[in-house]
A and B are shown apart, each in its own frame.
Chain A
Amino acid sequence: GAGVSQSPRYKVAKRGQDVALRCDPISGHVSLFWYQQALGQGPEFLTYFQNEAQLDKSGLPSDRFFAERPEGSVSTLKIQRTQQEDSAVYLCASSLVGDQPQHFGDGTRLSIL
């Protein structure tokens, strides 16, 4: 497909475990964004990449959250020592460049037990 692909779609982890969420953006899209969406809320910005450079990580809630995009395409969001409050849907979006419309994936629903 030509859309943004995220995996896994669902992830259940025990509190304290580390998790890794993957995002495959639309081919050729320079900009990549991660958002966190709590139940019944709008998405909240986490971080932004332009190619492989992480230009804004001001939305990451703690130093347990880490994102990378080493080759400028696929991105991984890693959460260390997960807590219950990390339970949410994590959305990835990509765009041709930063100020162009963002196309979202269907997200990864993370549940921390």
Chain B
Amino acid sequence: QQQVKQSPQSLIVQKGGISIINCAYENTAFDYFPWYQQFPGKGPALLIAIRPDVSEKKEGRFTISFNKSAKQFSLHIMDSQPGDSATYFCAATEGSTLGRLYFGRGTQLTVWP
């Protein structure tokens, strides 16, 4: 059973556009929600993360929006660039599981120049 559901599976965006990836969860004990970026042949790299006490976090062109009541969170990539083309994973964890991450299935983002 997938603890974190991610959509879309793939996304094509034009350079300069906004990329939006959505995730949903059921476990209300989750208290930390990171996003990872993965390039082919590389391990996931932490991009940005949020805790449920805030509704939005922004770092450069990357923004996480968090809706606690709906149990949903999303990643927005502003001014998308070809170098952003990668697979993005949302994840969640709770303190009682000592940091074990539950990942979504990933979104393959392609940004066309």
Contact = CB atoms under 8 A, between A and B. Distances in A.
B99 A102 contact: yes
A94 B62 CA distance: 24
Interface in B47-101: 49, 89, 91, 93, 95, 97-101
B105 interface: yes
A51 B69 CA distance: 37
A41 B95 CA distance: 24
Sorted nearest first, the 5 A-B pairs with minimum C-beta distance are A42-B103, A104-B43, A98-B99, A98-B98, A106-B43
Interface of A: 4, 31, 33, 35, 40-45, 48, 50, 55-56, 59, 91, 93, 95, 97-107
Contacts, number: 64
Contacts of A97: 99
